Amino acid sequence: MPAKSYEEKIDEILQSIWMLKEYDRTGVADLVEFCPEEGVEADLPGMVEGRLIRLENGSVDFQPAGHKRAEGIVRCHRLAEVLLTQLFGLEKNDIEATACDLEHAIDPRVAESICTLLGHPPICPDGKPIPPGSCCRTYEVTVKPIVQRLSDMAVGATGKVTFIAPSVHSRFDLLASLGIVPGTIVRLHQKIPAYVIQTGETELAIDKDLTREIFVQKQ
């Protein structure tokens, strides 16, 4: 495997800082332990000088330029994970290395196209949030997405549940109790006067808000 460039190494450090902050961990010691790159501490002063991060009392945080760059890296990485699992059917355990390579190769404009193609997924296969892009905020659709909300499917269409992004975590349990989990094949039976879906031989009436949190790949 070819050696990483200096910029790629900095990207990995910024990505690690972002991921640690998701767990409310901001210590330099946490970063050294978590980041896969060697010699992290030696690179931090240069990142401070480059106005990417700030160091204070043993903690590390982003400066605006560093936050923007890290957000783009994480967005590309997690979109790549969704792309590899949903479009190419790879297992989660097989995608990490490829996603790491793709995150450096995906241009921001390409990321917007991938995001639109995938239906603007809010989370990656591990359930981590995907930072939204301008395409997500404006909902511009230039190509037909391969993954879409159940609520957007046409009546009579069939799809496979790819992921669930509930606004309330307890809805995971509710949907699981109804047999609606990733991999489930569902058919949208009707939208009016209520949303009715069919899974196997069972028909279920569910709230419209729930159908907006279930993402499916049309079969």
At 139 the pLDDT is: 59
- The token duo for 41 is 């501490």
CA 33 to CA 37: how far, in whole Å?
10
Average pLDDT over residues 112-141: 83
**Of 64, 37, 29, 35, nearest to 50 (Cα)?**
64
Residue 144 has pLDDT above 80, yes or no: no
CA 27 to CA 146: how far, in whole Å?
40
Side chain identity, residue 134: S
Average pLDDT over residues 196-208: 90
Average pLDDT over residues 151-158: 91
DSSP alpha helix (H) spans, the chain: 6-21, 28-34, 40-49, 64-82, 96-105, 108-117, 134-138, 170-177, 208-211
pLDDT higher at 21 or 121? 21
Q: How confident is the model at residue 131 (pLDDT cuts 50, 70, 90)?
A: very high
At 22 the pLDDT is: 95
At 196 the pLDDT is: 92
- Sheet strands (E) in 38-138: 53-56, 59-62
CA 150 to CA 169: how far, in whole Å?
18
Residue 192 has pLDDT above 80, yes or no: yes
Q: pLDDT digits over 25-63, tens only? A: 999 999 999 998 889 999 999 999 999 999 999 999 999
Residue 141 has pLDDT above 60, yes or no: no
Average pLDDT over residues 3-31: 93
At 1 the pLDDT is: 46
pLDDT higher at 139 or 33? 33
CA 218 to CA 107: how far, in whole Å?
27
